Amino acid sequence: MSEFQGYAGAPMQPAAVIPLRRSAPSHEIEEKLIGAVLELPDKLELMDASGLSRASFSQPRCAVVWMIMRRLSERKLGVNAVTVVSAGKRAQLLADSDLRWLTDVQEANVLTRDQALQVAEDVRIQARAREIRGALMQQVDLIDRGRFAPGHCTDALNTIVSGLALDFARDETAEADLLALNASWDRNVEQGIASYDKTGIRVLDEMIGGHPKNLFMIQGAPGVGKNAYVSTVLPAQLRLDAHLGPDHWSRTGLIGLESGTKWLTNRMQAEALGIPIREVGSRKLTPEQLDRKARVDQEHFELLKRVEIFSGHGVHRSELIRRAMRWVFTKGVQRIYVDNLREIRHHDPRQRMEWWQAVAETVRAWRDFAERYEIPVGILVHDTEERAKPGHELPPDPDKMMGGRDAGARARLVIGLWSKGSSVRATITKANDLAEAKWPNGPTMEFQRNFEAGTFAPDGGRRIDVDAERAEERRNKRHQALEQSVDDGFERDAMRKKRKGSDLAVDGKANSAGDEKKTEPQSALDLGAMQTTKPEGT
């Protein structure tokens, strides 16, 4: 078969190749800028505003002069053709013959400060063009040598695109933000769209409104209930718009890297049928359960066909984000869950960076994706701290999640899951504009668990005042210590009964008066406890 012959026998034309031609550098423009800096006042401020460095110049002599001018300006020394060449001669970077050239450049200046900054921007664009050309040529070289790596190439191209967008963004005033806000506000009101994505868990939505249309983290120790959280929230979100027509149904993406995605269906079935999750797929159902399963399956089919899934192990972040982009473009996916951060392949052998830096780059890439398309992206992430001893449970520290502080800092919302006894709690340990959050005692709720199905009740749960709860625990410990210090059993029983009666009286008063705080001690025992209480913070 000929080199350009297809498998069907039809001749194929070779692909058109566009060479990356090297444009000739404009040394004259660089010299004009050098002359302007030598002639104009406020030289250091002008160089700072230009954003140029020695590497920005294509002409070696201009690059050396720029570096010397900057160093002299930083030391508050005189900067002109003579002082620059003199300093360059001491460093063996310039020669006597350069003095005539640099003097002519300085005397030929015709640029004002604003014009000089405009020329500096042109020099900066040319420098970035050379940098981009080098990066593209590197990828071409890898392709030619048969060492093309899609993940590495994607990261390189994304770095170029994001760098261009940031470095050459137009200057704007804040009125642009107000105009954009008003336009978005009107559109959202007209279409009935909220600026957040409701979770479907009543008590959580009351606290934060929902997930932000940005990156958020669901953090917790292994086995604490992260999958249970997603198994509760994801179907609840799909049911929120089930009453609308198909054109208004939302779609969700689920990336299962640790245990696939079947756990979602299994937990939904266990919850709907009222059977343990371990028996889903093997238990012989009763006739009543079979009738219920027929109805359950009909609803689940309608819900699950709106969930795009992907399973895999060790998939590079660029491939995952590429698939997520395709879901958004072709499927209309409006939210994405990733299970979990530990299973993503963050590092590329071609990149020289530490593991934690690679993880931070993964989180940054997902954040940029979420912000660009304005959709919630929730990543499940493990807590690196050891489990607390009973009685010392705390929400997970967002600075101590897998990947370190940088990973948590890039998320707009962090929901910390933790256990206390047999209960599972969620604490908002970080929230931007959604709720007042602080670690460790941020807004906290306790879920109502469905133990057999491994889910939570969307309409159950309650809000917890962790500070008040811990104060009560400390008070009870003090009472118990006082009771145990009494040798007489009758006196100890009397103290215990008196304390219980006092607690009931206080509870009744709080219920009737709208949970008012107790202002006076109810007994001599309470008075002693209050007098021995250490001030907070000591």
Q: Is the pTM of this model over 0.85?
A: no
Q: Which two tokens stand for residue 2?
A: 């000929």
| Domain boundary assignment for the chain | 27-148, 194-464, 467-531
Tokens of 394: 């705390």
Residue 219 CB coordination number (10 Å): 32
Residue pLDDT, tens place only, 222-245: 989 999 999 999 999 999 987 777
Q: Does domain 27-148 have CATH number 1.10.860.10?
A: yes
Asked if residue 186 has pLDDT above 90, the reply is no
Q: State which of 178-187, 293-302, 315-324, 429-438 shows the largest mean pLDDT.
A: 293-302
340 neighbors 378 (Cβ within 8 angstroms) = no
Tokens, residue 423: 């209960």
* Confidence class for position 11, pLDDT limits 50, 70, 90: very low
pLDDT digits over 403-432, tens only? 888 888 899 999 999 998 889 999 999 887
Torsion angle of the four alpha carbons 201, 204, 205, 210, in this order, in degrees rounded to the nearest 10: -100
The lowest-confidence range among 24-33, 166-175, 246-255, 457-466 is: 166-175
Quote the pLDDT of residue 166. 67
How buried is 215 (Cβ within 10 angstroms: 0-12 exposed, 13-18 middle, 19+ buried)?
buried
Band (456; pLDDT cuts 50, 70, 90): very high
366, pLDDT greater than 90: yes
Q: List, for residues 99-125, the tens digit of each pLDDT value.
A: 999 999 999 999 999 999 999 999 999
- In contact, 377 and 336? CB cutoff 8 Å: yes
Phi-psi region of 274 (alpha: psi -120 to 50; beta: other; left: phi over 0): left
User: Is 99 in a helix, a strand, or coil?
Assistant: helix
Q: Cβ distance 104 to 32 under 8 Å?
A: no
Right CATH for 194-464 from 3.40.50.360, 3.40.50.2000, 3.30.1130.10, 3.40.50.300: 3.40.50.300
How far apart CA 172 and CA 530 sit, in angstroms, is 59
**pLDDT for the residue 532:** 38
User: What confidence tier does 68 reach under pLDDT thresholds 50, 70, 90?
Assistant: very high
pLDDT for the residue 9: 43
Interior angle at CA 361, CA 126 and CA 124, nearest 5: 10
pLDDT of 500 reads: 66
Furthest CA-CA distance within the chain: 107
The pLDDT confidence band at residue 7, using thresholds 50, 70 and 90, is very low
Instruction: Please report how the helices 524-531 and 489-512 are oriented relative to each other, as an axis angle in degrees rounded to 10.
Output: 90
Residue 367 · residue 410 · CB < 8 Å: yes
Tens digits of residue pLDDT in 153-181: 877 787 777 777 767 767 777 877 788 88
Q: Please say whether the beta carbons of 66 and 52 come within 8 A.
A: yes
